[in-house]
Amino acid sequence: MFMLLLVMAIGLLDYVTGIEVSLSVVYAIPVSITAWYVGAVPALGLALLSVIVWIAGDLAAGLHPSNIMVPFFNALVRLVFYAFLTHVLVRLRYLQKNLEDLARVRAVALSHEIAERERLEREMLEISEREQRRIGQDLHDSLCQYLTGTAMAGQLLAEKLTRRELPEPREARKVVDLIEEAITLARGMAKGLHPVEMKSDGLMQALEEFCVSTSELFAVDCHFDCQMPVLIESQSTAIHLYRIAQEGVGNAIKHGRPTRIIVQLEEIEEGTQLVISDNGSGLPASAPSGNGMGLRIIADRAKMIGGRFRVDRGRFGGAELSCLIPHSQAAE
Amino acid sequence: MTSTATKAKVFLVDDHPLVREMLKSLIEQQPDMTACGEAEDAAKALKGIAADKPHVAIIDLSLKESSGLELIKQIKHRHPLVSQIVLSMHDEKLYAERAIRAGARGYVMKRESTKQIVAAIRAVRGGKLWLSETVSDAFAQRFVAAQPQAGSSLESLSDRELEVFNLLGKGLPTRQVAQSLNVSIKTVQAYCARIKQKLQLSSATELLREAMHWHESVG
């Protein structure tokens, strides 16, 4: 509507300025705008109107063409020019819009894909934990018991041989020793595969055990600091926190050579927090937080359970890793 | 030299048939003991022990659908004369003390059971405790370190501390304990520290176990 008025206004201006000044280019303005924002048909309509107004204006201003066909020819040329302009603009507009749409669609697809990949990663980790747990449980509940029975059978044989005063009981006892070693091995594997019992206080217990065995295996004083009960309902949160502690302590021993490591599990106002600090050589100055495979794995795990992971200089001079699981996630 | 009358009667509780079978043969092999019965779960064990009246019961800590510790408490309660030995896959450092506190007289880990179990049966039959050197050392250390206080029992807890203890026993997470008492988590932590000190508990795990046990016993 506004464009129609504009054409009329230009027509009037054309009439006032007289025939010497050609305002044909000025008519192109409303036509272009309409082509860009409204569409091809209205733009062509407007173009037709502009041409009529222009001729009418010129005739009214006192133009006397030598041949009656001249203004019509001029009008036709001008109309073709406007049509061409409209076509180019509409086409351009179409391409631009397409491009924008395409970009938007791609962005949506990409973010879907990222979400899907994260979900799959999480699921994969979950499945691998579940499988590990199953194998661990089988080892512990089934294989270890069989081995125990077998060791007893060996012992029985040894005692029978002794009773008959035959010379082989030493070999039989050797077999018993070997089987008992096998039990220790299998038990160790089972523990590694299935460290956290499926109870809400499972993590506390598992970390306590972990610290005891770490102190024994490595020449380091690994202490579990848990001032009050920290119950974790979600099994996957518990297992991830356990693995984070495992990875963190492993890192500390490997890189920091500390004599003392503290694994702290606590409940604070913001949520559940796991802190691993040591008195080792600390973080190398060149490694900012998040670098290195071990730390990356820890960060990934923390992210997966909705936790916030940080690496700092420790209270005791070494490094300090902390992972905070905010309330909402911990309660899930 | 040993008559049947003085043979130690041993009852076996283990959910694994092969372990039970071998344990039974091993015991039968000894001149001074006999396997009088066996069970695979807590219910059958209680029934069997009531019927067979054994001198010694060998209990696995992980039974189908129930905890061996719970069974030990029940046997201790119903048949105080039965000496119980724990035979378990679980680490003695973590479970021996709990088992002894529940009423067991001995703890043998399955990975070294073969040579020890017979000796353990003889020891508890003779009225002794049977624990590995590591565990009994730890016990002695603890005993020396612990300052005997006047009433290291629940009476020493303040009302507020008892309330915290009770809520923990119900299995409430610390955050909910704080919420229901309308205090901060820090305050609950302080209460926990004092309760642990007063009851001479070494860790939060122990505190929780003790609280849950108390909650069960008062109903």
Per-residue pLDDT tens for B12-68?
A: 999 889 989 999 998 998 889 999 999 998 889 999 999 989 999 999 988 877 788
Query: What's residue B39's pLDDT?
Result: 92
User: From the list B19, B185, B193, which residue is nearest A269 (CB)?
Assistant: B185
Rounded to the nearest angstrom, the minimum Cα separation between B212 and chain A is: 12
Binned at pLDDT 50, 70 and 90, residue B93 comes out as: confident
Distance CA(A47)–CA(A52), nearest Å, equals 9
Q: Which of B26, B93, B208 sits opposite A229 (nearest CB)?
A: B208
Is the Cβ–Cβ distance between A97 and A154 less than 8 Å?
A: no
Q: Which residues of A touch B211 (CB under 8 A)?
A: 229
The 3-state DSSP class for residue B81 equals coil
B38 with B48: CB under 8 angstroms?
yes
Kindly tell me if the per-residue pLDDT of A211 is higher than 80: yes
- Give A20's pLDDT tier (boundaries 50, 70, 90): low
Phi, psi of B197 (to 5 degrees): -65, -45
A128-158 confidence digits (pLDDT tens): 888 988 898 888 888 988 998 999 888 888 8
pLDDT, averaged across chain A: 84
pLDDT at B150: 41
Query: By the CB < 8 Å criterion, does A270 face chain B?
Result: no
Averaged pLDDT, B71-79: 91
Best residue in A228, A232, A234, A325 for a mutation probing chain B (most B CBs within 10 Å): A228
Mean pLDDT value of segment A87-115: 93
A-chain residue closest to B60, CA distance: A145
Q: What's residue A263's pLDDT?
A: 94
Residue pair A233/A305 in contact (Cβ under 8 Å)? The answer is no
Q: Which two tokens stand for residue B51?
A: 């019927």
Q: What is the pLDDT of residue B2?
A: 45
List CB contacts (< 8 A) between A223 and chain B: none
pTM for this model (two decimals): 0.65
pLDDT band at A300 (very low <50, low <70, confident <90, very high): confident
| ipTM at complex level | 0.71
Q: What whole-number distance in Å separates Cα of residue A109 and Cα of residue A122?
A: 20
Closest partner CB to B175 (pick from A153, A180, A267): A267
The mean pLDDT of A15-30, rounded to a whole number, is 72
* Inter-chain contacts counted by CB atoms under 8 A, chains A and B: 117
Interface of B with A (CB under 8 A): 16, 18-19, 21-23, 25-26, 29, 62, 89, 91, 93-94, 110-115, 168, 171, 173-175, 184-186, 188-189, 192-193, 203-205, 207-208, 211
Average pLDDT (B199-215) is: 81
Measured between CA atoms, the residue of chain A closest to residue B21 is: A149
**Per-residue pLDDT, B33:** 92
Give residue A331's pLDDT: 44
User: How far is it, in rounded angstroms, from Cα A83 to Cα A158?
Assistant: 108
Q: Which of B21, B91, B111 sits opposite A183 (nearest CB)?
A: B111
- Helix (H, G, I), strand (E, B), or coil: what is residue B57? strand
Residues in chain B with CB shorter than 8 Å from the CB of A229 are 168, 173-174, 192, 204-205, 207-208, 211
pLDDT band at A103 (very low <50, low <70, confident <90, very high): very high
Mean pLDDT value of segment A240-250: 91
Is the pLDDT reported for residue A332 higher than 70?
A: no
